[in-house]
Amino acid sequence: MTSIVRIYLARLLPQLIALAAILIAISMTFPGFLNLEIQNGRLYGSLIDILNRGAPVVLLAIGMTVVIATKGIDLSVGAVMAICGAIAASSITSGHSLFETILITIAVGILCGIWNGILVAVLDIQPIIATLVLMVAGRGIAQLVTEGAILTFNDAGLIFIGSGSFAGLPMPVVVWLVFGVLVALLVRQSALGMLIEAIGINRQASTLSGVLTPVLLIAAYMLSGLCAAIAGIIAAADIRGADANNAGLWLELDAILAVVVGGTSLLGGRFSIAASVLGAIIIQAINTGILLSGFPPEFNLIIKAAIIVFILVLQSPRFRTAFAFLAVPRRAAKTTEQEAK
């Protein structure tokens, strides 16, 4: 058991160090950043705020991780969020119960995922392009549902999902924690994760060796659609309304960034859901940190770009081979030593 924990920690170490560094940097410029207090049975503080505000990106990153692990990408998640927010708002205002609303919304999200999955798995279209279709059309569909207006609602149950609290934590945090643990257990306690990685490394070889590639691919995009649906419900519940134009705008890029920061290669194969979640929290910590430290928010994007480039350079195969020469002599020396013995 301890060895498993140690392996996990070793995998997450770079992300944990990065997060710690960012948190320390913020707390130096903004004293009181690390303070936590309990009011009315709920935790308050900047740290909790980061976990809470980061909820949509964390959720999207969970689905995106699995899709990217299959060597795919899902550009439509932001638009699906907008569609699902619109569906949730229109369903609750037209008199459906909270349970029905959530069920309908999740079904729509999964349906969007099935659409993407079929384009990728059955029609064999490149994932970037396949999901681009829904990205282009999705916001139009969301506007169609809300009829161009911001659809507001007043249902206490739905609002609770956005701003309520459970066991001292804000509801969105509870939702992504539970969902993330469930997905991580599902892929890691079964062979599912390994099969997904196999598809990402070589789809053709996996198919030939008997992996049900199309089913798993569609399932990956379905999961991504489901994540987008939950994120859409949270985003709509948070502002008590569905905004077809701005809900989830550019969040697909933040989700991809979170996965990349988490160390999952965009070329498919190896993946870690916990690392992606940490990646999403790192991004949110940067956003919040820049705001709190009184730094102009205009620099937000430039800092983000710098971080992506830095991480990508570290990940790039060419960079690794360029620095491999540093490792080679040592290994060579060791073998000669062994031979001498």
Partner 1 sequence: MNKKYLPLTATILIFVLSYALCAAQYPNILSTRVIGNLLTDNAFLGVAAVGMTFVILSGGIDLSVGSVIAFTGVFLAVVLEHTSMHPLAAFALVLAITTLFGVLMGMIIHYLEMPAFIVTLAGMFLARGMAFVLSIDSIPIKHPFYGTLKGFYYKLPGGGRITLIGGLMLLVFAVGILIAHRTRFGTNVYALGGGTATAKLMGVPVASTTIKIYALSGLLAGLSGIVFSLYTSAGYSLAAVGVELDAITAVVIGGTLLTGGSGFVAGTLVGIFIQGLIQTYITFDGSLSSWWTKILIGALLFAFILLQKGIIHLSRDARQHA
Q: Are 65 and 259 in contact (CB under 8 A)?
A: yes
Q: Find the length of the chain.
A: 341
Q: Which is nearer to partner 1, 302 or 340 (CB)?
A: 302
* Pairing assessment for the beta strands 241-242 and 151-152 based on DSSP bridges: antiparallel
How many other β-carbons are positioned within 10 Å of the β-carbon of residue 208?
Answer: 10
- Give, as ranges, the residues between 93 and 112 that touch partner 1 (CB under 8 A): none
Residue 301 Cβ, how far from partner 1 at the closest point, in Å?
3
What tokens were used for 144? 């169609």
How many other β-carbons are positioned within 10 Å of the β-carbon of residue 102?
Answer: 20
Q: Which of 195, 266, 291, 292 binds partner 1 (CB under 8 A)?
A: 266
- Give, as ranges, the residues between 135 and 154 that touch partner 1 (CB under 8 A): 135-141, 143-144, 147-148
With CB under 8 A as the rule, give the number of residues binding partner 1.
49
What tokens were used for 311? 């991480």
Residue 172 Cβ, how far from partner 1 at the closest point, in Å?
25
Tokens 């070889």: give the residue. 205
Q: Is 323 in the site for partner 1 (CB under 8 A)?
A: no
Q: Is 166 in the site for partner 1 (CB under 8 A)?
A: no
Please report, as a single letter, which amino acid is at residue 163.
Answer: S
Question: In this structure, what are the phi and psi dihedrals at residue 270, rounded to the nearest 5 degrees?
Answer: -60, 135
**What are the beta bridge partners of residue 169?**
166
Residue 123 Cβ, how far from partner 1 at the closest point, in Å?
6
- Give, as ranges, the residues between 167 and 206 that touch partner 1 (CB under 8 A): none
Q: Burial letters for 60-95: b for 16+ Cβ neighbours within 10 Å, e otherwise?
A: bbbbbbbbbbbbbbbbbbbbbbbbbbbbbbbbbbee
Residue 210 Cβ, how far from partner 1 at the closest point, in Å?
25
Residue 147 Cβ, how far from partner 1 at the closest point, in Å?
8
Which DSSP symbol is given to 44? E
Q: Which of 4, 5, 301, 328 binds partner 1 (CB under 8 A)?
A: 301
Residue 111 Cβ, how far from partner 1 at the closest point, in Å?
16
Residue 209 Cβ, how far from partner 1 at the closest point, in Å?
24
Q: Which of 55, 66, 130, 242 binds partner 1 (CB under 8 A)?
A: 130
Q: Which is nearer to partner 1, 88 or 260 (CB)?
A: 260
Q: Which of 13, 129, 182, 208 binds partner 1 (CB under 8 A)?
A: 129
What sign for the dihedral angle of Cα 208, 195, 60, 268?
Answer: negative
Q: Is 302 in the site for partner 1 (CB under 8 A)?
A: yes
Rounded to the nearest 10 degrees, how much is the dihedral formed by the CA atoms of 127, 131, 136, 137?
Answer: 140
Q: Which residues bind partner 1 (CB under 8 A)?
A: 73, 119, 123-126, 128-130, 132-141, 143-144, 147-148, 244, 253, 256-257, 260, 266-267, 296-306, 308-309, 312-313, 316-319
